[in-house]
């Protein structure tokens, strides 16, 4: 298996841009996915296949991939975006690998 | 609407067993792989197990291999997790999640249950 490493925390002022990275330490590359999780709630998928946004997810959420790093960008951060964010990928068996998680704080 | 509802959590002593259930509705359960994911208090998400849509393939995290068994009953639209030889470190909220296929052997989950808390303590 492999690991996905995220920064423990990111702080951002309202209206600014938050960027959360997720680094893979091994190949082969699989798509990356991003979840938002608020306290006491189940995770919510906000980005799939590196950069696609599910219906109902605000346009301010976007994803990108470059080499072994994927990035979740939240443009024009709002107070409601304060949450934990997890990247996720997988292996050939269908198992999930989750990132270490990033707490986004809106100042 | 599309929904997953877990049940069966509770307080259990170390070494004992517990079985979790996940009832699915609003989609064709028998055509989806299904996962169990857990989250210890204050910690991150940890994948536990996956079962293929037809029950023929299943995989486990090393941390639960040999102690936990995933199963499903497609006639009842229900996923199960039998947890034996429970340890304090198994204390977590357990979520079931639908496995959505995105091509190139890649899966994620757009549908999650609300979770059920398992506490292993004497």
User: What is chain A's pLDDT, residue by residue, as a tens digit (107 residues)?
Assistant: 788 999 999 999 999 999 999 998 765 578 999 999 999 999 999 999 999 999 999 999 999 998 889 999 999 999 999 999 999 999 878 899 999 999 999 99
Task: Read off the pLDDT of each residue in B95-119 and give the average, rounded to a whole number.
Answer: 94
Of all residues in chain A, the one with the smallest CA distance to B102 is A49
CA B83 to chain A, closest CA, distance in angstroms equals 19
- Chains A–B, number of C-beta pairs less than 8 Å apart: 74
- Residue-level pLDDT at A29: 72
- Residue-level pLDDT at A3: 87
Q: In chain B, which residues have their Cβ closer than 8 Å to the Cβ of A96?
A: 35, 37, 47, 50, 107-109
- Residues of chain B above pLDDT 70, percent: 100
Q: What is the pLDDT of residues B2-53, one digit of tens each?
A: 999 999 999 999 999 999 999 999 999 999 999 999 999 999 999 999 999 9
- Residue-level pLDDT at A2: 81
Of all residues in chain B, the one with the smallest CA distance to A94 is B107
Q: In chain B, which residues have their Cβ closer than 8 Å to the Cβ of A70?
A: none
CA A20 to chain B, closest CA, distance in angstroms equals 16
- Residue-level pLDDT at A28: 54
A101 touches chain B (CB under 8 A): yes
Residue A27 to residue A2: CA distance in whole angstroms? 8
Residue A16 to residue A65: CA distance in whole angstroms? 21
Mean pLDDT, chain B, integer: 97
Residue B83 to residue B36: CA distance in whole angstroms? 12
CA A68 to chain B, closest CA, distance in angstroms equals 16
A85 DSSP β-pair partners: A36, A102
Secondary structure element (H or E) that encloses residue A19, with its range: strand A18-24
């Amino acid at each position: 298996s492999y690991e996905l490493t995220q920064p423990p925390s990111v702080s951002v002022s309202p209206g600014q841009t938050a960027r959360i990275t997720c680094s893979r330490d091994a190949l082969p590359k699989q798509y990356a996915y991003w979840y938002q999780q608020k306290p006491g709630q189940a995770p919510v998928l906000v980005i799939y296949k590196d950069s696609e946004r599910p219906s109902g997810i605000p346009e301010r959420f976007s994803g990108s991939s470059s080499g072994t790093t994927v990035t979740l960008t939240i443009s024009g951060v709002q107070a409601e975006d304060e949450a934990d964010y997890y990247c996720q990928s997988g292996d050939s068996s269908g198992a999930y690998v989750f990132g270490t998680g990033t707490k986004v704080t809106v100042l | 609407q599309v929904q997953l509802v877990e049940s069966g959590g509770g307080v259990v002593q170390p070494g004992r067993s517990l079985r979790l259930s996940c009832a699915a509705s609003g989609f064709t359960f028998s055509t989806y792989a299904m996962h169990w994911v857990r989250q210890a208090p204050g910690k991150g998400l940890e994948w536990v197990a996956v079962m293929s849509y037809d029950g023929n393939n299943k995989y486990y995290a090393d941390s639960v291999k040999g102690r936990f068994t995933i199963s499903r009953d497609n006639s009842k639209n229900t996923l199960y997790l039998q947890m034996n030889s429970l340890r304090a470190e198994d204390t977590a909220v357990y979520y079931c999640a639908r496995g959505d296929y995105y091509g190139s052997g890649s899966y994620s989950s757009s549908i999650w249950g609300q979770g059920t808390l398992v506490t292993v303590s004497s």
